[in-house]
Amino acid sequence: MTIHKDFVKNIIEIVKTDPTIAGLVVGGSWIENNIDEFSDLDLVLITDRLVSDDFNKMYGYAKRFGNLLNAFTGEHVGEKRLLICMYDNPLIHVDIKFIVKEDLKHRVEDPIVLWDRDGSIMKIIETTTSEWSAINFQWIEDRFWTWIHYTATKLGRGELFEALDCLSFLRIHVLSPLLQITCGQKPRGLRKIEQTCRKEDLLKLQETISTYSVESIALSLGKAIEMYQELRRELFKDNIVLRKDTEKRCVDYFYEIKERILTDS
């Protein structure tokens, strides 16, 4: 989109004049040329010295890049080096990660180099390998059935908002990432899943979305269990230890709760 390219073009002209900046790269949708009017910008600013340990330093750089409305750090997504920015004129969301050259060797994707002061940024990218964090099937299996039990307890007690939140958690951290792997995609929560996965699989995922009622939540939780079991059969290898005893007890408990609340209603 023009507003994104114009914004980046302006930043490049600014960083060129700053001797403390070694380079500027961009990731995310820009890499795949999938930027549209709803996209944010995922920029990485490489500086000669560490600045991510000081919010004021990061803010100072970001403020020079446009009409900065607001900015905050990204601890909520596990990345304190990230400054999440809202700019105006144009209104645009820009994520700026502040790193030094050494940090670039450890990355999840190969970004596009927008500006490189001395060629060292491109050399690092060409001589090192990006690695997307692999999903840990055993980690999921060890936890999934306890999460089902927890959700069933919230349903049984009538804490429906809690139960709804649990279902959302399962979609984001289990069902959608596993589904993306079956579709040949990187596991990214719910990101762009409508564009990357099969229609029939999306329909199954939709069945795990509930309304605010015990009947609907019970139905959706049952569908979540079925979907996980199907994905597990497709993806898990023999080296994954299935928690069969925990599965049976927790699933049985869920159906006991389901029968009780449907009878009472």
Question: pLDDT 10s per residue in the chain (265 long)?
Answer: 689 999 999 999 999 999 999 999 999 888 888 888 888 999 999 999 999 999 999 999 999 999 999 999 999 888 999 999 999 999 999 999 999 999 999 998 899 999 999 999 999 999 999 887 788 999 999 999 999 999 999 999 999 999 999 999 999 999 999 998 988 888 787 787 888 888 888 899 999 999 999 999 999 999 999 999 999 999 999 999 999 999 999 999 999 999 998 887 6
pLDDT attached to residue 265: 66
60-64 contacts at long range (C-beta below 8 A, 24 or more positions apart): 61/96, 61/98, 62/94, 62/96, 64/14
Cα–Cα distance for residue pair 125/121, rounded to 1 Å: 7
Cα–Cα distance for residue pair 221/197, rounded to 1 Å: 21
pLDDT attached to residue 1: 62
pLDDT attached to residue 80: 93
Structural tokens at position 190: 């719910």
Cα–Cα distance for residue pair 52/38, rounded to 1 Å: 27
pLDDT attached to residue 41: 94
pLDDT attached to residue 197: 80
105-113 contacts at long range (C-beta below 8 A, 24 or more positions apart): 107/131, 108/132, 108/133, 109/27, 109/31, 110/31, 111/25, 111/26, 111/27, 111/31, 111/44, 112/25, 112/26, 112/27, 112/30, 112/31, 113/23, 113/24, 113/25
As beta bridge partners, residue 24 has: 45, 115
Q: How far is CA 49 from the centre of its chain?
A: 28
Host H or E run for residue 226: helix 214-235
